[in-house]
Amino acid sequence: MKDAFKIKAKTAARGATIEAARALIRPTMIKQPVVARIFNSLPAAVRADARISLSSGSDVVYISVFLHQLDSFKDRKLTTLLEKFVDWKSQSVDYTSSSQPNRDYIFTRDFTWEHDKRSIAYKKLIKEQYNAPSTFGICIGVYAYVKEDSASCRIVVKTHEEVVTKEERFIVCD
């Protein structure tokens, strides 16, 4: 019984050491050349308000871009930006709860992670016989807000009634 506990404790300690080393190398993602290249490809006015952050629990760099007071979702400033990420995995979500139409565009892609093999964190991972991650993700969030008084884009509210017939089954015993 004591041996089983020692093995579990040793495994837990090793896992904690690996997680600590991974936490130390995670900030190096932001120093990867591809991150700077992508950030610098954004128009200067967009870069000024953009935010860069790291995920605390995964290997992802987030770049958030906010576009306010657009004439519509066909605004040239937005479409030009979206074209930069046409070959990335993407999704969009519309928000209609306020009077201002807004749409979030999320783009994700994985890139090769070039590690500084001289760093203490990297050496610690190798010492623990754990391979350093070979890829990391970049997630670009483009948050687009259209003017409330836009002539070409507005929120329309429709109501409709639905009748749902649902079969219910249950057991009856006498």
pLDDT of residue 20: 67
pLDDT tens digits along 52-92: 988 777 889 999 999 988 888 888 999 999 999 999 999 99
If pLDDT is split at 50, 70 and 90, which confidence band does 21 have?
low
pTM of the model: 0.75
If pLDDT is split at 50, 70 and 90, which confidence band does 157 have?
confident
Between the alpha carbon of residue 129 and those of residues 25, 99, 171, the distances in Å are 16, 55, 57
pLDDT(1) > 60: no
Alpha-carbon distance of 75 to 153, in angstroms, equals: 11
More confident residue, 23 or 28: 28
pLDDT(174) > 80: no
Task: Tell me what the mean pLDDT of segment 161-168 comes to.
Answer: 89
**Strands 60-70 and 135-146, bridge-based pairing:** parallel
Task: Tell me what the mean pLDDT of segment 9-34 comes to.
Answer: 73
Encoding tokens for residue 24?
């130390």
pLDDT(130) > 70: no
- Per residue, the 3-state secondary structure of 96-154, as one string, reads CCCCCCEEEEEEEEEEECCCCCCCHHHHHHHHCCCCCCCEEEEEEEEEEEECCCCCCCC
Alpha-carbon distance of 127 to 141, in angstroms, equals: 37
Per the CB < 8 A criterion, the answer to whether 64 and 96 are in contact is no
